[in-house]
Amino acid sequence: MFEEKTVSSQEVFKGKLLRVRVDQVLLPDGRESSREIVEHPGAAAVVPLDHEGYVYMVRQYRKPLEEDLLEIPSGTREKGEDTLECVKRELSEEVGLQAGNLSLLASLCTSPGFCNERIDIFLAEELSPSEGQQDQDEFLNVEKYLFTEAITMIEQGKIKDAKTASGLLLAAARLAKK
């Protein structure tokens, strides 16, 4: 459609997690503009729902916001790791669970205006304790809420994380069809 062809591209930062570049682009009307772009390896997240109707979330400090947030388990994809491996690892490391049934809810772009991050959000059911140990390196608290209460917490502003809001609401829509 309104494709923006790259005229030139300059890397301005290369970190352990992120790479940042500035692209000079050609707009559809022939003018030029610049785009500041953050490259991210992609992530996976999961709504772990048990047979009693409880959802498991984690509360952790988020340095960019200088506050702690309540989120569904999630993590950045490690090098060479596929999305299903990633989500199983995070489910085990963060909340100590494994799932008998994992199904994709959606694959979403978190900030398409400046970042290429995509996050695959899964619903995890038929939960049982995982065999692996919970990651001791992660500073987080596991919190368990009734699924219906978690939905209300989005509207109340107690859940502020976009992937968590999307994941819970998509899971609610999926479950309503069952």
Site for a second copy, rule CB under 8 A = 1-4, 12-13, 15-18, 20, 22-23, 25, 27-29, 34-40, 43, 59-65, 68-69, 71, 76, 106-119, 139-141, 151, 154-155, 157, 160-163, 165-166, 169-170, 173-174
CB nearer to a second copy: pick between 51 and 139: 139
* Of the candidates 65, 63, 107, the residue with the CA atom closest to the CA atom of residue 87: 107
Of 101 and 107, the one with the shorter C-beta distance to a second copy is 107
Using the minimum distance from each CB to a second copy, give the nearer residue, 101 or 141: 141
Please say which residue, 99 or 171, places its beta carbon nearer to a second copy: 171
- What is the Rg, in whole angstroms, of the alpha carbon atoms belonging to the chain? 19
Residue 115: CB atoms within 10 A of its CB come to: 16
Which residues, including other chains, have CB under 8 Å from residue 68's CB and lie 6 or more apart?
Answer: 59, 60, 61, 62
Residue burial 146-170, b: 16+ Cβ < 10 Å; e: rest: ebeebbebbeeeebebebbbbbbeb
**In whole angstroms, how close is the CB of 15 to a second copy at the nearest point?**
4
Tokens of 103: 């199904």
Q: Minimum distance between the CB of residue 175 and a second copy, rounded to whole angstroms? A: 12
Report, in Å, the least distance between residue 66 CB and a second copy.
Answer: 8
